[in-house]
Structure 1
């Protein structure tokens, strides 16, 4: 296997955990001399169902929104697209876990995913993406926790959802 065939696949959603995963994946791609494949998976609101076909112009809008989220993630996580490493971004319609496992299917691939705090509503409906990838991927998987600051933002936002000046307005 040549060095050029190595790939680092990273799941990107814009969450704090995925931004950390993106940073880690860039470091791994540089160290391995690999190609970086940032992948953002998207689904229509309420999920994909053959019983509910969506018009093409609507799905195109959702795909464009996913692409914008990917570009925003590059800006927020890295300050722009990475330089010095080959990068092949992918915007794919589908559930994140299966899409990422399908992309990281070659020998020598490395899958990097963010690991966020579990949310009961999402777990009941979809299951955590990290668990899906770790149990089904055929390549090594690195799970990256969100930055320490992200652990403080959630509780603060729930404890005080509005700024103090808002309550003073009456």
Structure 2
């Protein structure tokens, strides 16, 4: 029987904090001998479409949230991991909500890594809603990584 794969799961949404979290996770994986870093991008149909009960026209052509999430994920991984990361990196694009998707993917993982603040909400808040939710409900240890502060 093969030993379970040692996975580090990282939430990536294109924010500075998630890019910093990905770099941290790659360093951690190399230092601890993890087998793989799983990067996860999550997409959702905007809530106002659901609230409108079918009364709004479909999203404009080209607004495909799953493809946009995949593009943001691929660009972030390419920029932060480079061509030859020390640990293999996989990319998963999952339907949201983000916290629920990350928690599902973290089942059996060694570690879940998220940025402290994503793309939404209030910039002055220390923890975003997703990072706070996963800290409270994760099936594994969680690391919340803050992005470097702007000097301005």
Structure 1 gap ranges (5+): 157-170
How far is 1:30 from its partner?
Answer: 1.2
Partner of 1:163: none
How many angstroms does 1:119 deviate by? 2.9
Q: Deviations over 1:14-57 (max 9, x none)?
A: 101000000011111112222110000011122674955x97xx
Do 2:17 and 2:117's aligned partners in 1 also have CA atoms closer than 8 Å? Answer: yes
Specify the alignment match of 1:101 in structure 2: 103
Q: Summarize the alignment of residues 71-90 of structure 1 with structure 2, pairs less than 5 Å apart.
A: 71-78=74-81, 80-90=82-92
1:113 is paired with a residue of what secondary structure? strand
Cα distance between partner residues in 1 of 2:90 and 2:77: 13
Aligned residues: 144
Q: Give the structure with the higher percent helix.
A: 1
Residue aligning to 1:46: 47
Larger radius of gyration: 1
Q: Which runs of 5+ in 2 are unaligned?
A: none
Q: Deviations over 1:135-166 (max 9, x none)?
A: 000100000001123xx4xxx6xxxxxxxxxx
Stretch of structure 1 that moved more, 62-71 or 136-145: 62-71
Taking structure 1 as reference, are residues 60 and 86 closer, same or farther at Cα in structure 2, changes over 3 Å only?
Answer: farther
Q: Which has the larger displacement, 20-29 or 68-77?
A: 68-77
TM-score for both structures, normalised by structure 2: 0.78
What is the CA–CA distance in structure 2 between the aligned matches of 1:99 and 1:59, rounded to whole Å?
24
- CA separation in 2, counterparts of 1:46 and 1:61? 14
Superposition deviation, residue 83 in structure 1: 2.2
Alignment of 1:51-62 (within 5 A): 51-52=53-54, 61-62=64-65
Instruction: Verify the 8 A CA contact 1:105 1:139 in the aligned structure 2.
Output: yes
TM-score normalised by L of structure 1: 0.70
Q: Which has the higher contact order (CA 8 A, sep 6+)?
A: 2
Tell me, yes or no, if the aligned pair for 2:74 and 2:91 is still in contact at 8 Å. no
